[in-house]
């Protein structure tokens, strides 16, 4: 009676059945389901033959290590980012100003050329009043800094980005809190500088310290300030005279977004 009761109890409790995992005394291999295209899939590889996906590969997405210019002006910008301590990248939307700058910043950090990346962007509303934003300073600035996060997320995995920001290797610095700082051994990107006044740009440029690179990006034709208040165009004209600085002016033919964007820039 004892054995019969024990057997019934095991069946009722769904006892472990080793036959589900072993066949003929050997462990049966289980296969992981892979995402379509494989873990190393990238949009630029759409025209390349697909490689077989390993059953037990890494689950972290693979990112491109090198960025290639798609126009002559973009090649000049990448060259200037390598050789100059101060670079101004001016041009319309979609020409890769911010993306190329952040790619070079991440590359410099990973190679040990700089100790940190500092990203700054003016918190200027694009013709709308969004009102009070709850949360800490980072939460309030998050909507304005979203384009920078998007560019970083394209170069770093979520785990890497979260770790670097927690350790202070990547810093998001509001323009209003940059006064008085000296940015040594850093790669500094000032994005959307057309929304800065001449006084703000002058203050930002003079933050440049030893062994640092500063990139100022923006489109003087798309300022959300009054035309006479934006200081990017005026500052760029004066910086062109300096041997240690470089001003790269991107054009409509350098747009890498939808082809319609370049056409719109000519008619709008």
Residues 6+ apart with CB under 8 A from 134: 140
pLDDT at 85: 95
pLDDT digits 0-9 by tens, 43-65? 555 555 555 444 444 444 445 55
Q: What is the CATH class of 72-267?
A: alpha beta
How far, in Å, are 44, 66, 160, 231, 249 from residue 35 at the CA level?
Answer: 17, 24, 21, 48, 41
**Of 125 and 88, more confident:** 88
Helices (H), the chain: 2-12, 72-83, 97-110, 137-155, 158-167, 198-205, 232-239, 259-267
* Separation between Cα atoms, residue 150 and residue 155, nearest integer Å: 9
Note the pLDDT of residue 185: 96
Task: Please state, rounded to an integer, the average pLDDT across all residues of the chain.
Answer: 78
**Angle, alpha carbons 173-117-121 (nearest 5°):** 35
Closest listed residue to residue 53, CA positions, set 43, 40, 44: 40
Asked whether the beta carbons of 66 and 89 are under 8 A apart, the reply is no
Question: Tens of pLDDT along 166-222?
Answer: 899 999 887 878 888 999 999 999 998 998 999 999 999 999 999 999 999 999 888
- The answer to whether residue 5 scores a pLDDT higher than 80 is no
């Amino acid at each position: 009676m004892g054995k019969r009761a024990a057997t019934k109890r095991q069946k009722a409790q769904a006892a472990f059945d080793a036959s589900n995992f072993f066949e003929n005394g050997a462990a049966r291999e289980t296969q992981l389901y892979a995402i379509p295209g494989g873990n190393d899939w990238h949009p630029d590889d759409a025209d390349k033959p697909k490689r077989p996906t390993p059953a037990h590969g890494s689950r972290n997405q693979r990112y491109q290590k090198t960025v290639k210019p798609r126009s002559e002006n973009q090649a000049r910008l990448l060259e200037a980012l390598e050789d100059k301590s101060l670079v101004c990248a001016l041009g319309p939307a979609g020409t890769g100003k911010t993306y190329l700058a952040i790619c070079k910043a991440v590359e410099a950090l990973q190679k040990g050329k700089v100790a940190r990346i500092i990203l700054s962007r003016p918190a200027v509303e694009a013709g709308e009043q969004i009102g009070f934003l709850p949360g800490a300073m980072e939460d309030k600035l998050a909507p304005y800094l979203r384009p920078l996060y998007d560019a970083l997320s394209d170069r770093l995995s979520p785990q890497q980005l979260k770790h670097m920001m927690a350790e202070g290797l990547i810093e998001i610095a509001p323009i209003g809190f940059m006064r008085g700082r000296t940015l040594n051994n850093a790669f500094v990107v000032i994005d959307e500088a057309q929304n800065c006044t001449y006084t703000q740009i002058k203050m930002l440029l003079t933050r440049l310290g030893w062994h640092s690179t500063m990139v100022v990006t923006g489109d003087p034709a798309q300022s959300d300030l009054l035309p006479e208040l934006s200081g990017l165009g005026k500052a760029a004209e004066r910086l062109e005279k300096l041997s240690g600085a470089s001003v790269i002016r991107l054009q409509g033919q350098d747009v890498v977004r939808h082809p319609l964007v370049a056409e719109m820039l000519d008619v709008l």
